[in-house]
Structure 1
Amino acid sequence: MSAKALIFYGGWEGHEPEACAAIVEEMLQAEGFDVRSEAGVAVLGEADLARFDLIVPMCTQVSIDQVPLERLCTAIEAGTGLAGFHGGMGDTFRDAPAYQFMAGGQWVAHPGDILDYRVEIAQPQHPLMEGIDDFEYRSEQYFLHVDPGNEVLATTTFDGSHAPWIAGTVMPVVWTRRHGRGRVFYSALGHQASEFTNPQMREILRRGLVWASRTTDSRETGT
């Protein structure tokens, strides 16, 4: 039986949620997932979330009522995976601390907006990072409030050009974590659909999506 994935997308149009959702849907289908992709968050109140092996949020700056939020958190705690990227996951429900606790972080700034920066692999032997070297990237360099319990797989260092007081700050870019029985994966990379042409960004996300799913062989590797 195929693994089942749910993508819910929407919110701020600057992140091109519909286009990004279509790309991720194709990625997951190529990995053998049966994918349901829905605009908005209504699906979180309608669907039996526990039947999904993976949930991928792509909704920047949206709100959610308490009952569907609780249903989402309960599904992840019970073993459904949660995985996503950039503001679609890192700034989904900014007024919902329970979601941020589950995701492991929350976006707060991107000093300088679009710029060139370096992504440094923190754990090159980890299954999600194996064979990927440090690389240059052009996008928003995310400054996040993060859970110190995250397993950080990649970082970036702020040089202070646009906010001198954060010069030298090492910020997580990619992390994994547990939330109950569920696996959680996050990558700060992927501001718009065009960034999927970056091979490192795309491969890291592909691996993370598969890793987080409840029913994949990757359960036997990593954390």
Structure 2
Amino acid sequence: MTKALIFYGGWDGHEPEATSAIVERMLADEGIDVRREAGTGVLAEDDLGRYDLIVPMTTQVQIDKEALQNLIAAVEAGTGLGGFHGGMGDAFRMEPAYQFMVGGQWVAHPGNIIDYRVEITRPDDPIVAGIGDFDYRSEQYFMHVDPGIEVLATTTFNGTHAPWTKGTVMPVVWKHRYGAARVFYSALGHVASEFEQPQMKEILCRGLLWAARES
């Protein structure tokens, strides 16, 4: 059976306990054996490699260097990594090695909660196939990203809240490889209520299943 680890915590504004519980149920419904733990202490365990998928859901926290290296080593060896919004894209702000693995890092969300458009760029990819472009209301993430990621969806900044960003096309959903692992990220999902948006939830579910190591 596929095994997944969710670790959650950090800034309460992202509702980490509630959102991690939703993801736990979502993965369990797909037949995955899920372990959900508060904090980053679990990452210090010697056998992280027994998990097929690790889902970070913690924002703006510090992590012990050895625990971070343990996580990176597990992913390099083939444990999939997948997540969303600040829980993965702003988990360890002071750790560039983690950001290198993720493929990007949050830096701003001009205007905070706003309406914007998500455009699917790879409609042939199974993670986003059949979904199509959609409107979304949340934080529109401006990120620093690895140019080598495979972008599945983007958003375009109109410059209303930061005029110098007008016309900037920003990745919203991506995947890539890191070592022997698959890595998936979606910038959508600020709070638990956003899981009521069907496109957001479906993309995340498909992406996490894709990232999980195949048994």
Compute the RMSD of aligned alpha carbons. Answer: 0.7
TM-score, length basis structure 1? 0.95
1:157 lines up with 2:156 in the alignment: yes
CA–CA separation in structure 2 for the residues paired with 1:55 and 1:47: 14
Secondary structure of the corresponding residue to residue 133 of structure 1: coil
Counterpart amino acid of 2:99?
Answer: Q
Secondary structure of the corresponding residue to residue 8 of structure 1: strand
Name the structure 1 match of 2:52: 53
Residues 101-180 of structure 1 aligned to structure 2 (within 5 Å)? 101-180=100-179
Calculate percent identity across the aligned residue pairs: 71
Q: How far did residue 213 of structure 1 move?
A: 0.2
Name the structure 2 match of 1:80: 79
Secondary structure of the corresponding residue to residue 118 of structure 1: strand
CA–CA separation in structure 1 for the residues paired with 2:191 and 2:67: 27
Counterpart amino acid of 1:213?
Answer: A
Mind listing any 5+ residue stretches in structure 1 that lack a counterpart?
A: 217-223
CA–CA separation in structure 1 for the residues paired with 2:114 and 2:7: 28
CA–CA separation in structure 2 for the residues paired with 1:75 and 1:178: 13
CA–CA separation in structure 2 for the residues paired with 1:51 and 1:198: 32
TM-score, length basis structure 2? 0.99
CA–CA separation in structure 2 for the residues paired with 1:46 and 1:209: 22
Q: How far did residue 46 of structure 1 move?
A: 2.5
How many residues were matched structurally? 215
CA–CA separation in structure 1 for the residues paired with 2:99 and 2:194: 25
CA–CA separation in structure 2 for the residues paired with 1:44 and 1:71: 7
Counterpart amino acid of 2:105?
Answer: Q
Q: Name which of structure 1's ranges 92-101 and 46-55 shifts more when overlaid on structure 2.
A: 46-55
1:37 lines up with 2:36 in the alignment: yes
Name the structure 2 match of 1:64: 63
Name the structure 2 match of 1:28: 27
Name the structure 2 match of 1:18: 17
- Is this contact kept in 1: 2:57–2:87, CA < 8 A? yes
CA–CA separation in structure 1 for the residues paired with 2:171 and 2:104: 10
Name the structure 2 match of 1:220: none
Moved over 2 A (4+): none
Secondary structure of the corresponding residue to residue 31 of structure 2: coil
Secondary structure of the corresponding residue to residue 105 of structure 2: strand
Q: How far did residue 47 of structure 1 move?
A: 5.2
Name the structure 1 match of 2:198: 199
- Is this contact kept in 1: 2:46–2:70, CA < 8 A? no
Name the structure 2 match of 1:221: none
